[in-house]
C-alpha cells in the first residue's frame, strides 16, 4: 500500500474479510435458487421451426415464400450491405452509414441462392425438376414473371388435401413443378441443407441463408402467434408468459418511441444511443461534474452512517477527502 493510501486509511476501523468465501456463499445461494425455480417453473421451450414442419402444416406458406423470392419480392432484393451492393439502403446516422464501410461481406442473390441452386441439387434425383429448371432458365424474364404472377395468384385459391396442394387450372409453365420440388425438399427435411450447403461442408455452421428464407412470412407468422413481434415486446419477450433477456429492455424501450420506431434507421439510432450510454458509464470517473454527483448527493454518508456519527467534523472531512487525505476521527 502506498503512502497516500496509508494516510487515507489511517485510524479507520477495519476487520478481516474473506472475499473468496463470501463470493462462494453468494454463488451457492444463487445456484440453489436457480435450480429450485427451474424445477418448479420450468422454461419456455418452443420447438425449432423446421422446413419439414412448415411443409407439413403450412405448405402454402412455403410455396408463397419460394415463389415470392423467385419473383423478386424478397426483402433481401435491395437490402444493401452485407447482402447486396445497394449502399443507398444502408442505415444512416448523421449521414454516416457504417454498413457501407465493410461493403458486401455475405453476397446473396435471393432467387439463385435460395431457390434455383437448392432445386439444382434436387434435380439430381428428380428428372421432372431438372426439365422444369432447364425450361425456366431458357425463358425470357417477361415470360418468367408471367408464370410466377399466375402461380402466386393461384396460391390464394389453393386447397390442401392429404398434404398435397391443389391449384386451379392455369398457365404456370415450369414454375408449378419447381415449387413442388421445393415442397418435397421441405417435407424431407433437406431444404435447410440445400440452401446453406457450400464449400464448408461437412462443417456447416453458417445458417444465415436458410434463416433469411423463412424470415419474411413463416417466422413472422410464428412470432405473431407467440406475441414476439417488435410491437409486442419483441426480443425481450420469451414464449408464453415468461420474460425475456432483461438486458435487452433498453433497446425495446427505444423501439417504442415513435420518432425512432418509425425511422428507417431505427436499429442504428438505438445502437448509437446505447453505445453513448455505455461509454458514459465507462468514463464516468473522468467526466467533470458527473463524477462529483455521488459525493454531492451524499449517499455514502447514509451507508456509512455509523462511521460518520462518530465524527465531529464531517464537512471538514469531505473537504480533505478532495485532497486525498483522510483526517483522524
- pLDDT tens for 9-65 read 777 777 777 889 999 999 999 999 989 988 887 766 778 888 999 999 889 999 999
Phi, psi of 74 (to 5 degrees): -75, 145
Q: 157-169, pLDDT tens digit by residue? A: 999 988 789 999 8
Residue 244 has pLDDT above 80, yes or no: no
**Cell numbers given for 93:** 446516422
User: pTM, whole model, 2 decimals?
Assistant: 0.71
Q: 254-287, pLDDT tens digit by residue? A: 888 889 888 889 889 999 999 999 999 899 889 8
Stronger pLDDT, 321 or 39, i.e. the higher one: 39
Query: Per-residue confidence at 232, pLDDT binned at 50, 70, 90?
Result: low
Amino acid at each position: 500500500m502506498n503512502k497516500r493510501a496509508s494516510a487515507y486509511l489511517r485510524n479507520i476501523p477495519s476487520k478481516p474479510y474473506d472475499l473468496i468465501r463470501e463470493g462462494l456463499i453468494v454463488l451457492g445461494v444463487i445456484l440453489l435458487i436457480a435450480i429450485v425455480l427451474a424445477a418448479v417453473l420450468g422454461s419456455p421451450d418452443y420447438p425449432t421451426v423446421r422446413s419439414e414442419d412448415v411443409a407439413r402444416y403450412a405448405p402454402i406458406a412455403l410455396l408463397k415464400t419460394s415463389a415470392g423470392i423467385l419473383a423478386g419480392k424478397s426483402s433481401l432484393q435491395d437490402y444493401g450491405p452485407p447482402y447486396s451492393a445497394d449502399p443507398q439502403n444502408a442505415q444512416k446516422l448523421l449521414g454516416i452509414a457504417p454498413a457501407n464501410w465493410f461493403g458486401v461481406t455475405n453476397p446473396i442473390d435471393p432467387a439463385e441462392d435460395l431457390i434455383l441452386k437448392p432445386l439444382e441439387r434436387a434435380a439430381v434425383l428428380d428428372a421432372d425438376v431438372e426439365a422444369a429448371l432447364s425450361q425456366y432458365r431458357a425463358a425470357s424474364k417477361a415470360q418468367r414473371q408471367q408464370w410466377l404472377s399466375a402461380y402466386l395468384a393461384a396460391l390464394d385459391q389453393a386447397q390442401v388435401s392429404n398434404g398435397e396442394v391443389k391449384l386451379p387450372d392455369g398457365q404456370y409453365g415450369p414454375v408449378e413443378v419447381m415449387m413442388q420440388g421445393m415442397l418435397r425438399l421441405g417435407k424431407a427435411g433437406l431444404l435447410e441443407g440445400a440452401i446453406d450447403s457450400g464449400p464448408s461442408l461437412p462443417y456447416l455452421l453458417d445458417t444465415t441463408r436458410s434463416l433469411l428464407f423463412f424470415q419474411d412470412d413463416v417466422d413472422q407468422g410464428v412470432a405473431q402467434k407467440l406475441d414476439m413481434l417488435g410491437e409486442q415486446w419483441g426480443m425481450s419477450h420469451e414464449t408464453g408468459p415468461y420474460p425475456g433477456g432483461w438486458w435487452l429492455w433498453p433497446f425495446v424501450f427505444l423501439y417504442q418511441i415513435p420518432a425512432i420506431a418509425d425511422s428507417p434507421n431505427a436499429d442504428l439510432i438505438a445502437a448509437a444511443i446505447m453505445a453513448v450510454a455505455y461509454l458514459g458509464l465507462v468514463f464516468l470517473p473522468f467526466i467533470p461534474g458527473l463524477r462529483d454527483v455521488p459525493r454531492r448527493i451524499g449517499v455514502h454518508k447514509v451507508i456509512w452512517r455509523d462511521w460518520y456519527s462518530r465524527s465531529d467534523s464531517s464537512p471538514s472531512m469531505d473537504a480533505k477527502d478532495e485532497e486525498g487525505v483522510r483526517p483522524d476521527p
